[in-house]
A = this chain, B = another copy of it.
Amino acid sequence: MNKHINTVGSNTYQRIKHDIIYGELEPGTKLKLDGLKTRYAASLSTLREMLSRLASEGFVAAEEQRGFFVTPVSREDLIEITNLRVLLECSAVKESIENGDTDWEGNLVAAHHKLHLMEQKMLNGDETEKETWKRYDGEFHLAMIQACNSKNLLDIHATIYDKYLRYQMLVLTYRGQEAVDEHKAMFDAALARDAKLAQELLEKHIRKGVEHTLEKIFSVDE
């Protein structure tokens, strides 16, 4: 299915990134090279190379001569990430709806269908595949903006989305029917080529989801 990238480097890169996003490496944790060496079975040089990459993407904080840390989380950071996501994704969805061809529509229909199936599963109480569900959610949002004609924008968006995803994983709340309806409404607006409506729905959708998250994570502490 998905091509297996076989260098030690890109493998550990993906694993570390995954572990940060999905909370297995907790925010603020010191990433000691020697510890990572045993955990990921890679050499110091290789690890440094990948940590450097993750640092420039913002998942890792690097301090000169003092090592690497998992980037901490904070209320302010989540708000910044959210605003950026709204800005980028709303801009992209407009372009995408205006430029999208038949292939784009096809992929969008498929992505929404897969997401919808998973959402039904979740509504029925099956919470065994939260990670898969979130992946379909991401793929649906990506399908919406795929035709925006800007590789640069899609790249930046992907990173921002992953950062948003990390916050989601810290609580992993499911808004239920409400979110399902929002996805459907956005999907319909996109097929109807109503860019303005899609933008409005998208912004509300994103902000509502994050409010939910903000309350749960940063209600008392930090």
**Residues of A bordering B, CB below 8 Å:** 5, 7, 10, 45, 48-50, 52-53, 55-58, 64-65, 77, 80-81, 83-84, 87-88, 91, 149-153, 155-156, 160
Contacts and interface: CB of A to CB of B under 8 A. Distances in A.
B152 A81 contact: yes
A57 to B, nearest CB: 6
Contact of A80 (B55, B64, B87, B152): B152
Q: Chain A interface secondary structure, helix, strand, loop or mixed?
A: helix
23 contacts: A5-B64, A7-B64, A7-B65, A45-B45, A45-B48, A45-B49, A49-B52, A50-B52, A52-B53, A53-B55, A56-B56, A56-B57, A58-B152, A77-B152, A80-B149, A80-B150, A80-B152, A81-B152, A83-B153, A84-B150, A84-B152, A87-B88, A152-B160
Nearest to A87: B91
Contacts of A87: 87-88, 91
Nearest to A86: B91
Q: Which of A53, A88, A156 has the most CB of B within 10 A?
A: A53
A80 B153 contact: yes
A97 B49 CA distance: 39
B151 A80 contact: yes
Contacts of A150: 80, 83-84
Contacts of A149: 80
A152 B77 CA distance: 8
A36 to B, nearest CB: 15
A91 B55 CA distance: 25
A156 B156 contact: yes
